[in-house]
Structure formats: C-alpha cells, structure tokens
Amino acid sequence: MEKNFQFKNIFLTGEKGCGKSTLINNFTAQSKLICTGFKMEWQYSGNVKTSLLILPYNAKSKFNPIHSELPAANYIAGYWNGVKAIPNPEGFENTGIKILQESLAVSIQSPDSSLIILDELGILEKNATNFKNEVIQVLDSRIRVLGVLKKKSSVFSDILIKRSDTLILEINPDTRDHVNLKIFFNKTRRKSPTSKHSESGEMDSLWLRTNS
C-alpha cells in the first residue's frame, strides 16, 4: 500500500550550474502565486566576481558594483583575490532577516496563494545564527517554501534535510527538464513504498529524501 506524504517545503539541490535557480525562476514566472523571499546575486568587475548580495526575490534589476547605490547591508560575501568567497554574517543578520520577516508579513495575508523563495542556503550563513533561526520560523509557518540547498553537507543543511515536512529534490542536467514543480505543491504527494530514491520513472528518480 502506498503512503501519503505531505511536503510544505521543497528544496532543490545539485551541482553548481545545473539549473536549480533557473528552474525556480521559470516556475515563478508562470505561477499565479505571490512570491516573496530572497535571492543572491553576484556582482562583477569585468569578468571577476567581487561581491555577493542578498536581495528580495522580486527585485528585478541587476546591480553594477560601481554604480550601485545598495547599502552595504546587502553584502553577504566577497571574493578574496578572485579565489575564495569570504562570508559576511552581518549581511544575513541585517538585510537577510528583514527580507524574511517582510516576506512572512506579506504572505500571511494570503497564505494559500503565497510562496516564499529561499535561494540559496547551505554554507555562507554558517555564522549567522539569528538569520538561520528566522529561516526555521519561515519553514515552521503555514506558508509554502521553495528553495535551493547547496550540495555540500553542513550542520544547518543537515537540519533542513531531516525535517519531516521538507522534500529535497536532486537536480541534474538529465532530470531538470522533467521536473514540474506544480505537482509538488499539492496538499498530498504519493510516493512509491519500495525506496526513498527510486530509479524507476522520470519523476521517481528525482526523490532524494522524504524523511518519513
């Protein structure tokens, strides 16, 4: 007998550049849901990454690091000599928390037609304790969540993966075109009882963990 699973929160994971954020952006562009939350955007000097910003998900314009008037509070990481990303916890603790709180305040007005985007989580927020607590508040709320989780183990990502209300989908170039995110926002999802990561069928092969 098949079991019913309910997932309020869905995270996409996979190797860098496999299309996780693109998949989310394509979904939200076609969806009638009220989408809030955050996204991250790299700034460049020529072809060199300089700084990473945290922005409201629905911010539409890209920002030039030379001409941008964004406050420093949006800065969450920077590249040292173009090699290593150095996290800035204050960006998460200030702007990140503000974005999440405002997203919840907007979404709670129409909870059944709202979606909070978290793009992305996993590594840079390691030392941003208050921000991580706010993320948990969002996941615990009645608002549906769609996010990106870096494919690298950390204490925080392991906590998210183990949540019983959260589904982790592993994306790769071979499977991303078969993912229809609409079906994962049904009230109840059915899954084959044979395994937690079945290789049979296009959609079954996308199940990574269901933490039943």
Q: What is the spatial distance between Cα 31 and Cα 148, in angstroms, rounded to a whole number?
A: 18
Whether pLDDT at 140 is above 70: yes
Q: How does residue 43 score in pLDDT terms, banded at 50, 70 and 90? A: confident
Predicted pLDDT of residue 184? 72
Cβ atoms 115, 28 nearer than 8 A:
yes
Q: What is the spatial distance between Cα 11 and Cα 208, in angstroms, rounded to a whole number?
A: 10
Q: How far apart are the two ends of the chain, measured CA to CA in Å?
A: 15
**Full-model pTM:** 0.81
Report which of residues 4 and 135 the model is more confident about: 135
Q: How does residue 211 score in pLDDT terms, banded at 50, 70 and 90? A: very low
Q: What is the mean pLDDT of residues 49-77?
A: 70
Predicted pLDDT of residue 180? 82
As a whole number, the mean pLDDT across the chain is 80
Predicted pLDDT of residue 176? 81
Q: What is the mean pLDDT of residues 164-191?
A: 75
The parent domain of residue 122 ranges over: 3-209
Structure tokens belonging to residue 202 = 């296009």
Cβ atoms 24, 117 nearer than 8 A:
yes
Count of domains observed in the chain: 1
Predicted pLDDT of residue 80? 63
Whether pLDDT at 151 is above 50: yes
List the beta bridge partners of residue 39. 55, 119
Whichever domain contains 195, its CATH number is 3.40.50.300
